[in-house]
Amino acid sequence: MRRERAFQGLQCTECHTTYPKGEILQKCPKCNGLLDTIINPEILSEISKDNLGPTPSMWKYQAFLPVDEKDRIVSAGEGDTPLRKLRSFYGNVWVKDETKNPTGTFKDRGASLAVTALSSSGVKEIILSSEGNAGCSFALYSHIADLACRVFLPQQVNPAKVELSQKLGAKITLVDGTIADAGRRTEALAKSEGSYNASTFVTPYRHDGKGTMALEICEQLDWRVPDYVVYPVGGGVGLVGMWKMFSILEKIGWVKTRPRFVAVQPTGCAPVVKAYQSKRDDVDEWKNPQTIAFGLRIPKPLAGKWILRCLRESDGIAMSVTDEEIRKSMGQALKDEGLLLEPSSAATIAALHHLYREKMIDRSAEVVLIATGSGLKTLEQF
């Protein structure tokens, strides 16, 4: 007998209207709220964690993802990244090394899932705004699935990200201003041309892909949950996706607890930190964002409310670090650990120094840092 799929449809995070799977949706047609996928834990609880299969990619966890039996998986071997113990800290610290993904970032997980879901639903053309890494990822998976891909990027972008996206066949437009301006251009064009907007949280098919990091971390720790997960927050896709998967794992009994999240942002663009510390429910737009961590230069994440809700549920911590601390941490990661990180990822190491120094966490606590992207595309910032 074929097992029912855990993926049951979509639900608006604002008005809670549900939609059947198979409809090609972006935001909620009723209220323009963000959509989440409905993954039913009861069906997942019938699976054994000892019988996941050998697939050497995030698709090992296909049962947790919003895809159907008939969907053609668009994969380049993303996920299944190492969890490495860091030697240079007097503490119990691991790094989830997402630089080992096909284009060097965890964005590949979201893009692999989104392009799988969209191409299987008949979408032929996608468009998105990006700080650079998501552009490369969507260019790769669109190329594999034979979709047209167009990316809007802010002018101040790492040149390697533009070049790689173009070499993978994406059409690139550089926009004056921030990613918010690029986002407005993307939205206008998607409307006028009828192409699918796959930008962060405009599509509901990216965050579960990144959520597979939580599944892998627990499996790599022999189904133990770390005490803290330190995550650099830009659009917040990974934080929302991982929190959802940690929660599902707890519900189905594969793990006993959930971790506390530490959300890290640069002092030059810290809208989530500001909102969380002042106990707000939503995020205000950060004026004049300035930081070398381009991936974190998101003045008003679309999922602000959702990110804050996950942080509160995890009894999380939000903190900011300076560009100088980020730069120093890039040097430390490379020299002491052989990890070539981009600034956004190095922000987690800078944060860990604060957490220990200010005794916000104990050195015996088990900590996982999410190293989201490789420094190979950001060498000019080293």
Per CB under 5 A, residues contacting Zn ion are 12, 14-15, 28, 30-31, 33
Cβ closest to Zn ion, residue 33 vs residue 373? 33
Cβ closest to Zn ion, residue 202 vs residue 273? 202
Min dist CB 31 to Zn ion, Å, is 3
Cβ closest to Zn ion, residue 12 vs residue 115? 12
Min dist CB 26 to Zn ion, Å, is 12
Min dist CB 134 to Zn ion, Å, is 24
Min dist CB 120 to Zn ion, Å, is 24
Cβ closest to Zn ion, residue 34 vs residue 214? 34
Min dist CB 37 to Zn ion, Å, is 14
Cβ closest to Zn ion, residue 34 vs residue 145? 34
Tokens 């770390």 locate to 226
Min dist CB 121 to Zn ion, Å, is 20
Cβ closest to Zn ion, residue 9 vs residue 77? 9
Cβ closest to Zn ion, residue 32 vs residue 290? 32
175 Cβ partners below 8 Å, 6+ apart? 129, 152, 153, 154, 155, 181, 182, 185
Min dist CB 12 to Zn ion, Å, is 3
Chain centre distance of CA 136: 14
